[in-house]
Structure 1
Amino acid sequence: MLLTVDIGNTTVAVAGFVGERPAFLRRLPAGREEGPRDWAAALRALLAGAGPFRGAALSSVVPALTGPVADALACVTGGRVLTVGRDTPTGLPLGDYDGAALGMDRVVDCVAALARYAPPLAVFDMGTATTLSVVDREGVFRGGMILAGLSLSLDALSARAAQLPPVTLSPPEGLVGTDTERCMRYGAIYGAAGAVEGIAARLEEQFGPLTVVLTGGNGAYVRPLLRIPVVWEPMLTHLGLRELWLRQEP
């Protein structure tokens, strides 16, 4: 079994693959300032009953966690651990994009999307932040956008507006909110859906007809509301990590 690990700002998502088939997806909170030994113990508890493991592939947008989790994965799997970074040959040309601060999760998403769909592509990853990654017809990464994620937007509203309460995301029951909580929740979710639709339309004016790929935990709230064709790939980052690990397998 191969492990793929996506370290985000909120969670550490761990998936196991048996061949091409994802066997499970489990999560740990990302806000743990612990060393490799503690992470290894947490991973062993999380993965109880799974294995054996042939190795792991890891991407991270939290530098402080990258090293400890990678070391823990080496202990837990006893195999090769690929940490996707600037020097990893991904096969994705960056063109004119300044890749110095490019999140590797966006690169991994594009690798997975290109392995499945013909470009041009627009990849929306809806997590703590919503990222858009654009790949042109020649398979070159052209850049994209970074927007505040749904939960982050709601948290900012409740923190900065005295009369707005904390709100937990859940699917909308209608279009027009009938109380403050629903107004905030509907605004975040329908606003995100409108952003995806509007941005995709503008991208098509520049790049021509494209495939819109949607992923990320918050994408599940937005997907049912979209009025444009999209491909739903909830495990896109993990599929890309598996792809990169296999490409570098000895």
Structure 2
Amino acid sequence: MILLVDAGNTNIVLGVHDGNKYIASWRISSGGNKTSDEYSIQVMQLFNLGNINPKDITGVIVSSVVPNIMHSLENMLKKCFNHEPIIVGPGIKTGINIKYDNPKEVGADRIVNSVAAYEIYKRPVIIIDFGTATTFCALRENGDYLGGCICPGIRISADALFERAAKLPRVELEIPKGIICKNTVSSMQAGILYGYIGQVEYIVRKMKKEMMTSKYKEEPFVLATGGLANLIAKETDVIDKVDSDLTLEGLKILYEKNKEMANC
């Protein structure tokens, strides 16, 4: 069994794959000040609740966009599972060709998602990851990673409105019945979510236009992942599919490509 770890700014997602299927997945808070012991307690409790023996883990791979938690996270993984984790970063085999000005600047999460999209879908793809930040990535069918754009996430936008406008309350992120609202909460929900949907639709249209040329005529397939992907996908027709396991799938593929590193 392999342990897949995706460390984001808000949450850490852990998945256990037995070679055929996922047998468990969990989500814990990133918690920038946690020690390796605190992470160990949480993770071991999850394994105990899932009735999974940590000794059955034969390999670990980690993707992280949060540098300040990596020391504690790596130490926890070494202590709990007795394996050197593979870290997604420079030098790792990906199978894709990153066309960024400086490939080292591309976030690990974007690389992992792109590897999964390339290996699974084998077609031009636009990947939207609705995380703490929302990322848009453009990928050709031959594995060329063209780049993309990064926007404030939906929760960041909502929190900014609450924090900077004295009379406005914090609101739940749910779609209101219409765009013309008759109370403050619904008005904020409409502005935040319908405004965000409009942003997504505009960016996707612009990316498709740039990706489709006389040489590349196939319209890109639009994949969405991340915690709020389903909420947005229900309200727009520009998203072709929500793939909630895209990041874990990418980590699993990267582990297979790089597992000799874990045995060095």
In which range does the TM-score fall when normalised by the shorter chain? over 0.9
Which of 30, 49, 62 aligns to 2:66? It is 62
Instruction: Give the structure 1 partner of residue 215 of structure 2.
Output: none
Pair 1:189-2:199 in alignment: no
In 2, Cα distance between the equivalents of 1:13 and 1:171? 26
- Give the direction of change, closer, same or farther, for the CA distance of 1:154–1:18 in structure 2 (3 Å limit): same
Q: How does 1:118-197 map to 2 (within 5 A)?
A: 118-197=122-201
AA matched with 1:76: C
SS at match of 2:259: coil
Instruction: Give the structure 1 partner of residue 8 of structure 2.
Output: 8
Pair 1:29-2:29 in alignment: yes
Write out per-residue CA displacement over residues 33-78 of structure 1, whole angstroms, 9 at most, x where no aligned residue.
Answer: 1332332222111221223222211111110111221221122222
In 2, Cα distance between the equivalents of 1:150 and 1:57? 28
Q: How does 1:202-217 map to 2 (within 5 A)?
A: 202-208=206-212, 209-217=219-227
**1:137 positional shift:** 4.1
In 2, Cα distance between the equivalents of 1:108 and 1:6? 9
SS at match of 1:143: strand
In 2, Cα distance between the equivalents of 1:124 and 1:229? 9
AA matched with 1:42: Q
Moved more, 18-27 or 110-119: 18-27
Moved more, 31-40 or 51-60: 31-40
Aligned residues with identical type, % of pairs: 29
| Consecutive unaligned residues in structure 1, runs of 5 or more | none
Instruction: Give the structure 2 partner of residue 240 of structure 1.
Output: 250
Root mean square deviation, CA, Å: 1.8
| Consecutive unaligned residues in structure 2, runs of 5 or more | 213-218
Write out per-residue CA displacement over residues 204-250 of structure 1, whole angstroms, 9 at most, x where no aligned residue.
Answer: 22212101110000112101111235121112111101110111224
**1:177 positional shift:** 3.0
Instruction: Say whether the 8 Å CA contact 2:93–2:257 is kept in structure 1.
Output: no
- Between structure 1 and structure 2, the one with the greater Rg is 2
Instruction: Say whether the 8 Å CA contact 2:32–2:68 is kept in structure 1.
Output: no
AA matched with 1:93: N
Which aligned segments of 4 or more residues in structure 1 are displaced greater than 4 angstroms? none
Instruction: Give the structure 1 partner of residue 116 of structure 2.
Output: 112
Moved more, 90-99 or 105-114: 90-99
Which of 49, 52, 55 aligns to 1:50? It is 52
In 2, Cα distance between the equivalents of 1:47 and 1:220? 28
Instruction: Say whether the 8 Å CA contact 2:7–2:65 is kept in structure 1.
Output: yes
In 1, Cα distance between the equivalents of 2:150 and 2:197? 15
Pair 1:83-2:90 in alignment: no
**1:32 positional shift:** 4.1
In 2, Cα distance between the equivalents of 1:146 and 1:81? 28
Q: Could you tell me the TM-score, scaled by structure 2's length?
A: 0.88
Write out per-residue CA displacement over residues 70-120 of structure 1, whole angstroms, 9 at most, x where no aligned residue.
Answer: 221122222342111122121221124322332111000100111111232
- Give the direction of change, closer, same or farther, for the CA distance of 1:17–1:171 in structure 2 (3 Å limit): farther
In 1, Cα distance between the equivalents of 2:155 and 2:45? 28
In 1, Cα distance between the equivalents of 2:166 and 2:40? 42
SS at match of 1:249: helix
SS at match of 2:97: coil
In 2, Cα distance between the equivalents of 1:246 and 1:67? 24
AA matched with 2:127: V
Instruction: Say whether the 8 Å CA contact 1:54–1:80 is kept in structure 2.
Output: no
